[in-house]
Structure 1
Amino acid sequence: MIDHSPVRSRLMLVVCFFIASSSAWARVLADEIANIEFFETRIRPVLVEHCYECHSNEAAEVGGGLWLDSAEAMRVGGDTGPAIQPGYADDSVLISALRYDSSEMPPSGKLPDRVIRDFEKWIATGATDPRTNTPSAASSLKTPKIDLEAGRQFWAFRPLRVSDHLAQPGDLKWIDEMVQEKLQAAAIVPNGRGDADTLLRRLSFDLTGLPPSADSMVRWRADPSDVNWEIIVDKMLASTAFGEHWARHWMDVARYADSNGSDFNATFHDAWRYRDYLISNIAGDTPVDQMIRQQIAGDLMPAENDNVRRQNLIATTFLMLGTKMLSERDKTKLTMDVVDEQIDTVGRAFMGMTLGCARCHDHKFDPVPMRDYYALAGIFRSTMSLQGESQKYVSTWKPVPLPTSQDHLDALQEHGEKLRQAKDALAKAEAKIKKQETPVRQLAGIVIDDESAIRTGDWVVSTYLKGFIGSGYLHDDNRNKDNASLQFKTTLASERSKPDSERVTKQNGKATVRWEARLWYTPGGTRASNVPVEVRVGDETRLVKVDQRKSGKDGPIASLGFFEVGQGTEAVVTISNSGTSGHVIADAVQWIPHGGMQPVVERGNQDVQKVAELKHRRDSIKTELAALVKDAPAPLPTAMAVVDKSAAEVVDCPMHVRGEVNNLGDTVPRGFLSVCGAPDESPSTLAFTGSGRLELAAWMTDPDHPLTSRVAVNRIWMRLMGDGIVRTVDNFGERGERPSHPELLDSLAVDFMRNGWSRKRLVRQIVLSETYRRGSQSSVLGDAIDPENRFLWRANRKRLPAESIRDSMLVIAGSLSREGLDDPMNGYGTLVSSNDAKSKSKISFAVNDHRRTVYLPTIRGEIPALLAALDVADADLLVGKRPTTNVPAQPLALLGSSEVREWAGLTANRLLTEVENESERVQWAYERVLQRLPTAEDHELVGRWLGSETARAMPNDQTRWQQWIAAMFAGTEFRILE
């Protein structure tokens, strides 16, 4: 007999290597695609805008011998060595320069912290850079012209094909038949069905995100028939939990958050309405194509009643949820950055296309010309996303009023009128008191406040630093140097100044008075040190330089000199920002006669009784006003929605050369993707009403569109099967993966559209299939031929999402609240202040809330540590499929969490209350925590724990079982779906 064991050993080594290397390659490919997209959307545009002028072949003289317009050049570096050290952000010269730690780049001003963090992340993850040109060839390298006709032959842009399998009415087996064809061709025998416990656990988490109850497990084990399976499926599909769980899936794609993040973490008080819109519409099985149209153009869609109008408006919050650099001073750039984020999100979410990669140039990989990008940009630029486009400082969005009842509107109007009357009465009372009381202080001499100055150029009114005269002070915003000035004019020694007679002297037989000129300002470290001030009195002119970084000897005052002035002499003080570095400030100019001058104060009545009566009346009005505010009707509901701009503001967008907002090219008519249109169709032939979003939404959901339905069904398939038919669910382009079952993908898409774009119907079809119900166990043959399970011969093991892990512990502990939550940011102001103790306590309270996780606030920059350790979605990004890791940090995070210990303790209390026998307690724990019956080995393991010295040293059974259940919560089996 021949011993084949060495052969088997070598075969197993080869198989194991093949499995490991193939899986690793798939992960590497997915990471590479994501990294390229990150570079193209977050890194390259910044390099083009801020660095190429001095560090590329376009520069007249390359600064420091450093080119930044190619991957190779960045690694070679310039005079100071390599610009980047891939994998080591802190050691990279580029990061040091961006942080202003060494050299300060760009010299025009430090980039926002969010942008610097993007560069740190890019370098830390390996500095993926698809630019293959060398510096010497950069200027001559041209992107090949896009061949749209050839692009239309790519699989994703071809028309959907109808399979013969769909020709059989009522045939529910066509999914299995199409999968089986691939398996037969590969000579793979698929697994049979998984065991009853595994299947029900899989179904419950996939459909509702929650574990099945112990009672439902018992009933299912008693009747694991196809008929009963259908009954259970239909019951889960009809539950609110289905809407909550599947809404959370889409919230990953919609980059949902309750705050803006970035450098200005503004609170999104109305975002929750979009969350609830998703839950109710997914639970109600609103057609997916209708939801797509609502999210892109709901504000423009017809509505038969107020409720539909309300839903349509709320849906457009989808376009508003991205993080925005609201403090960006260049508002044109801010507008285009928002437009870019919207185009990129719409492209990847609905069409699986990385359209953002065409902002600076034709798409490097896909048939998307730069002109197509700006055809879409015109549509979104004609949409009102921000209302602060003309503001100098922080922009914001415009809350859009939602329909409400007439009674509510009447109540608001009545309350508003009462409030107005009370405020008017309070203002009048304050004015009367002010008139009766003596002014506390007036400046001596003649004071010309900044409000009376003659302005040239741009000046900004501020009240930021206190101690100013009048209602505020002016500053030049440290911009537009050499172009701004202020003139303060007056006439000295006039009758109204009333100088004391002893200070009047004679010069050349004429009476004169000696006056001192003073400039008032608010000092500070960012002020200019060399502010030029010209003082002209009659025929005399003097130039004085003022250092505004510090106060003078008498306070925030600079003496401009003394002048002998005759009767009726004109005096002019001119302040300029010419040649200055830093903020130039002007608060007031004061003229004081030598020796001082008493101010002329017209004093009112000093009737103390009268003042007391007025104050009593004022306090009564304040009380009435406080009561009105307290008893106010609910405010007018608003949505964080978009609307079209006015007809005059609806415009086509010019191309931005290299993506630069101030380097404009040809204007492109608004339109769609050329590769998805007819060969003879061009943007100029399209007619739009308003911005064009309504037409865009209709075009995207047209049954002939090659991408939208494919992308939608692929996302649903991925959620149930663990992998998409196209594994790169957000990228159907050249850099994405090809479909494993292209005919099945098309058949699913066609059937999906034929049956009203019903999400629930598609989910039902998939979970009723044998393909879905397979066991997940491996086999030598299957692993050898198809280690990545692309042919679907077994079920994929799936990691539970972070929300399901948390919610499951609450269910098992008997503590899950099924209540929803309106505004989870209620109590927060305009900003989320992460350094504020009060804000931190609110965030902690939210984490300890026992509602489903979908209802808790998602605060950018403040993700709870437990959820972060469990790979919760990054709300800064569109996340079609979450990264899944299984590292020691996860069980450690679970074991170290005070919440997990609390829930384990509550579970232990339930166990000890409901069950007395130890063996039955083991069964109770395993059925509820792991949704299966314990094995003999499990019973033995628990017995050994309870009898161990460690357990016996604990004070009671509750503590012992709490520790054991916490360990079960932290275990891999709890977090994995077989």
Structure 2
Amino acid sequence: MRLDLADAAFAALKENPGKFAIVPSDLEKSEVYHRIISQDPNTQMPPPESNLALTQEEIELIKRWIKEGAQYEPHWAFVPPKKAPLPKVKDEDWPKNEIDYFTLAKMSQKGLKPNETATKAELLKRISLDITGLPPTPEMMAQFEKDESPDAYIRMVDQLLDKPAFGEKMAVLWMDIARYSDSYGYQDDNVRTQWPYRDWVIHAFNNNLPYDQFLTWQLAGDMLPNATKEQILATAFNRNHKYTEEGGVIPEEYRIEYVLDKTNTFSKGILGITMECAQCHDHKYDPISQQNYFELFAFFNNTPEKGYEGDVSQSKPAKTPILWIERNDIDQLLTFINHPDTSKLMVSVMEELDTVRTTYILARGVYDAPTVPVKPNTPESILDFGENFPKNRLGLAKWTTDAKNPLTSRVFVNLMWQEIFGQGLVKSTGDFGMQGDLPSHPELLDWLAVDFRENGWDTKRLIKKILTSATYMQSSKVDQKKLSIDPDNKYLARAPRLRLTAENVRDLMLASSGLLVPKIGGPSVKPYQPAGLWEAATSGRGELKTYKQDKGEKLYRRGLYTFIKLTSPPPMPIIFDGSNRDQCEVNRGRTNTPLQALVMLNDPLMMEAARVLATKIHKEKPDAEAGIEEAFQRIMCRKPSAKELDILVSYFEEENERFVNEPEKAKDLMQVGEYPLDEKEIHAESAALMQVIMTIYNLEEAITKV
């Protein structure tokens, strides 16, 4: 019995040929209707023992649908998006752009009204964190506060979008999607040099490379006519998966694993469809079959990549096929790669075999169980591949960015919405399929998707559109009524209040203290880490068998550049819900745990940032109250209230008195971290100010976008 297919739903019932589950436009003859309104437990659907029940609203919806003809349509995400007319709203003064008409109409349906506009200080912190991942500088705060012109906010958005830090902020998301790491994974987990690809991603976002080209280069840059080294480098996207270097493995088994990973990353990260369940067999209600899966697999199955390349003693920082990057490439063509020495770089990239490798449907998805051969193709339920595109990765890239493709622009627009609001218009960001969530604002999602595509796949324009909406500019305050009607803020009658991502928690401490080294790109760095973590998760062989902490300015790079070893990811990012990068991730959780509080209270970087900021401020502003106000503004991005300032000054006085009486404790406290410390700055007042700054860092608001 299937109700998901029209032919099955309209057919005569097998055990009662005189009756039908659904008769279009006829409730009395539709057995489904009688079953869902029945009170008889023997006939009621769903049956009482299932512990499932339809709401009255759902029953009325099914009733209305049958009366109106029981029309079946394809799954919403597989229908190409169209721009709906802007909804009519009562308060026509509130909308600032098209987005607001859709959100305001939905609020009105739910009995909600939008919040007032956030304060200037809140807006500046918000857009700075959303665009660059960094807090605004004191100079930016002063400039924005003084600027009373009507377009001050828009100009600040433009100013931030032009900063190189924009590409770094965007790259954090894309590294999760591209499952970027600095090691191979598995037992030996040796070092690899894929970081030039990360430098390219930063460069592409900063140069606002249109998203269709951004995808095309990553999927098939090597296959473009007269492909440049930059376009080939972009294909490293496909090669960031784990690699084994263990002896005794079956090469073909792991080669197949690598192709499976490429297929799953493409489907989840770019199409927003989780296809991996179709690797093993067909599923009754799934529009994507096992044949569909292996036809998609075939696009990635034609490279000279090997499943195994020698033992760990011969480990190389890249695997076949390899792109060699010479010094003159960096000087002339790939100037965005931050590589100060003269050695050549090796990056794992894509390449096609001269002869097409036959792809088979694998029984149960197992590497050594080939059955029927298949050709490269895409699921017809999404968009028929047809004869318009070549049957290779370049054809796949063209299919992906074709105007008729219903998913690509929707998925990226939803990702950007999630980055800004903490939750996508489709909550299941990586699953637009049958089991995914319905969009909260379907017309808005489609409008944005079409607008994005019609305007040249312009990422910066899309972000600016969202950030200049009245929806985005609301205060994040919440009252009891809104909380009871919309606890998850699905209908956007307030701005979200979100804890920063793991990398940006680190970045905020570095930037606010003045420790941040703003270099773009380059090899990953190894900051402070508790002793013994790596050694507990290693085979004891290879370059990464022990953790060798970096020194000097490498300790103060942005979180994006922290070295990621797959078998032992950096602890601080993991504690703050960072991706462990062993597979494609499009959505990080946001938890609140005691471990996070312990990190903020004890992390050596936080204490060092507090120490450096305290000594710097004390030199410039010896007056305690002025110094505390300066520190508060740098970290919180607003001025403290009189009450807040009184509490902090009182705490400073208590700590100052303690350190005057116990100077050795002040000395011990201020020895934290490797940033040079002037002996003259070790005294009670600096130590007391350091304690106050540590307290400010530990306030919830410090690492929260309000």
Q: Shared topology, TM-score over 0.5?
A: yes
Residue of structure 2 equivalent to 1:361: 281
Letter matched to residue 187 of structure 1: G
Match 1:884 to one of 569, 590, 605? 590
Identity of aligned residues (%): 30
Residue of structure 1 equivalent to 2:85: 164
Find the aligned partners of 1:283 and 1:843 in 2 and give their Cα distance: 30
Letter matched to residue 181 of structure 1: A
Residue of structure 2 equivalent to 1:867: 573
Contact 2:190 2:543 in 1 (8 A): no
Find the aligned partners of 2:544 and 2:306 in 1 and give their Cα distance: 29
Match 1:646 to one of 354, 357, 361? 354
Find the aligned partners of 2:265 and 2:209 in 1 and give their Cα distance: 22
Contact 2:220 2:394 in 1 (8 A): yes
Structure 1's 662 and 671: CA in aligned 2 closer, same or farther, altered over 3 A?
same
Contact 1:335 1:389 in 2 (8 A): no
Report whether the alignment pairs 1:311 with 2:39: no
Residue of structure 2 equivalent to 1:756: 456
Match 1:964 to one of 680, 685, 692? 692
SS at match of 1:665: strand
Letter matched to residue 153 of structure 1: P
**Could you tell me how far 1:670 is from its partner in structure 2?**
1.6
SS at match of 1:643: coil
Find the aligned partners of 1:914 and 1:850 in 2 and give their Cα distance: 23
Match 2:162 to one of 238, 244, 253? 238
Residue of structure 1 equivalent to 2:501: 801
Find the aligned partners of 1:259 and 1:884 in 2 and give their Cα distance: 26
Letter matched to residue 204 of structure 1: S
Letter matched to residue 661 of structure 1: Y
Contact 1:816 1:852 in 2 (8 A): yes
**Could you tell me how far 1:832 is from its partner in structure 2?**
8.2
Find the aligned partners of 1:791 and 1:226 in 2 and give their Cα distance: 28
Match 2:319 to one of 397, 404, 418? 397
SS at match of 1:891: helix
Residue of structure 1 equivalent to 2:468: 768
**Could you tell me how far 1:276 is from its partner in structure 2?**
0.5
Residue of structure 2 equivalent to 1:333: 253
**Could you tell me how far 1:636 is from its partner in structure 2?**
4.6
Report whether the alignment pairs 1:976 with 2:704: yes
Match 1:276 to one of 194, 199, 205? 199
Count residues with an aligned counterpart. 587
Find the aligned partners of 1:694 and 1:228 in 2 and give their Cα distance: 44
Find the aligned partners of 2:152 and 2:87 in 1 and give their Cα distance: 26
Find the aligned partners of 1:952 and 1:835 in 2 and give their Cα distance: 49
Residue of structure 2 equivalent to 1:292: 215
**Could you tell me how far 1:735 is from its partner in structure 2?**
1.8
**Could you tell me how far 1:818 is from its partner in structure 2?**
1.2
Letter matched to residue 273 of structure 1: P
Residue of structure 2 equivalent to 1:577: none
SS at match of 1:676: coil
Structure 1's 343 and 166: CA in aligned 2 closer, same or farther, altered over 3 A?
farther
**Could you tell me how far 1:957 is from its partner in structure 2?**
0.7
Find the aligned partners of 2:245 and 2:401 in 1 and give their Cα distance: 32
Report whether the alignment pairs 1:378 with 2:86: no
Residue of structure 1 equivalent to 2:6: none
Match 2:381 to one of 657, 675, 687? 675
Find the aligned partners of 2:322 and 2:73 in 1 and give their Cα distance: 40
Letter matched to residue 641 of structure 1: V
Contact 1:388 1:394 in 2 (8 A): no
Structure 1's 371 and 847: CA in aligned 2 closer, same or farther, altered over 3 A?
farther
Letter matched to residue 959 of structure 1: A
Alignment TM-score, normalising by the size of structure 2: 0.78
**Could you tell me how far 1:668 is from its partner in structure 2?**
1.3
Find the aligned partners of 1:151 and 1:353 in 2 and give their Cα distance: 22
5+ residue gaps, structure 1: 1-149, 410-632
Alignment TM-score, normalising by the size of structure 1: 0.57
Find the aligned partners of 2:358 and 2:542 in 1 and give their Cα distance: 44
Find the aligned partners of 1:199 and 1:398 in 2 and give their Cα distance: 48
Letter matched to residue 746 of structure 1: D
Find the aligned partners of 2:451 and 2:602 in 1 and give their Cα distance: 48
1:835-874 alignment to 2 at 5 Å?
840-843=546-549, 845=551, 849-874=555-580
1:909-920 alignment to 2 at 5 Å?
909-920=615-626
Contact 1:313 1:402 in 2 (8 A): no
Residue of structure 2 equivalent to 1:188: 112
Find the aligned partners of 2:325 and 2:343 in 1 and give their Cα distance: 12
Find the aligned partners of 2:616 and 2:486 in 1 and give their Cα distance: 45
Q: Which has the larger radius of gyration?
A: 1
Structure 1's 777 and 224: CA in aligned 2 closer, same or farther, altered over 3 A?
farther
Q: How far does the alpha carbon of each residue in 1:663-695 deviate from its partner, in whole angstroms, 9 at most, with x for none? A: 2211112211121234xx66xx67746xx1111
SS at match of 1:667: strand
Find the aligned partners of 2:254 and 2:544 in 1 and give their Cα distance: 31
Structure 1's 256 and 392: CA in aligned 2 closer, same or farther, altered over 3 A?
closer
Structure 1's 227 and 743: CA in aligned 2 closer, same or farther, altered over 3 A?
same
Residue of structure 1 equivalent to 2:91: none
5+ residue gaps, structure 2: 1-70, 89-94, 332-340, 527-533, 664-683
Find the aligned partners of 1:636 and 1:880 in 2 and give their Cα distance: 33
Contact 2:281 2:290 in 1 (8 A): yes
Q: How far does the alpha carbon of each residue in 1:891-942 deviate from its partner, in whole angstroms, 9 at most, with x for none? A: 2112212222111100101110111222212211110111111112112211
Find the aligned partners of 2:312 and 2:590 in 1 and give their Cα distance: 43
Residue of structure 1 equivalent to 2:627: 921
Q: How far does the alpha carbon of each residue in 1:97-125 deviate from its partner, in whole angstroms, 9 at most, with x for none? A: xxxxxxxxxxxxxxxxxxxxxxxxxxxxx
Q: How far does the alpha carbon of each residue in 1:199-246 deviate from its partner, in whole angstroms, 9 at most, with x for none? A: 110110000000001222122223355400011000100110101111
Residue of structure 2 equivalent to 1:699: 399
Residue of structure 2 equivalent to 1:948: 654
Structure 1's 906 and 761: CA in aligned 2 closer, same or farther, altered over 3 A?
same
Structure 1's 763 and 950: CA in aligned 2 closer, same or farther, altered over 3 A?
same
Find the aligned partners of 1:408 and 1:216 in 2 and give their Cα distance: 33
Match 2:243 to one of 319, 324, 327? 324
1:47-446 alignment to 2 at 5 Å?
153-165=74-86, 173-223=97-147, 225-269=149-193, 271-303=194-226, 309-327=228-246, 329-363=249-283, 365-386=285-306, 388=308, 397-402=319-324
Find the aligned partners of 1:924 and 1:949 in 2 and give their Cα distance: 18
Letter matched to residue 272 of structure 1: W
**Could you tell me how far 1:349 is from its partner in structure 2?**
0.5
Find the aligned partners of 2:210 and 2:416 in 1 and give their Cα distance: 14
Structure 1's 408 and 798: CA in aligned 2 closer, same or farther, altered over 3 A?
closer
Structure 1's 166 and 279: CA in aligned 2 closer, same or farther, altered over 3 A?
farther
Structure 1's 162 and 203: CA in aligned 2 closer, same or farther, altered over 3 A?
same
Q: How far does the alpha carbon of each residue in 1:461-486 deviate from its partner, in whole angstroms, 9 at most, with x for none? A: xxxxxxxxxxxxxxxxxxxxxxxxxx
**Could you tell me how far 1:392 is from its partner in structure 2?**
13
Find the aligned partners of 2:306 and 2:695 in 1 and give their Cα distance: 49
Find the aligned partners of 2:220 and 2:96 in 1 and give their Cα distance: 35
SS at match of 1:367: coil
Structure 1's 152 and 363: CA in aligned 2 closer, same or farther, altered over 3 A?
farther
Find the aligned partners of 1:300 and 1:285 in 2 and give their Cα distance: 22
Contact 2:132 2:160 in 1 (8 A): yes
Letter matched to residue 569 of structure 2: I
**Could you tell me how far 1:400 is from its partner in structure 2?**
2.4
Find the aligned partners of 1:731 and 1:911 in 2 and give their Cα distance: 49
Structure 1's 319 and 186: CA in aligned 2 closer, same or farther, altered over 3 A?
same
Structure 1's 780 and 288: CA in aligned 2 closer, same or farther, altered over 3 A?
same
Q: How far does the alpha carbon of each residue in 1:597-652 deviate from its partner, in whole angstroms, 9 at most, with x for none? A: xxxxxxxxxxxxxxxxxxxxxxxxxxxxxxxxxxxx945544210101122xx133
Contact 1:294 1:312 in 2 (8 A): yes
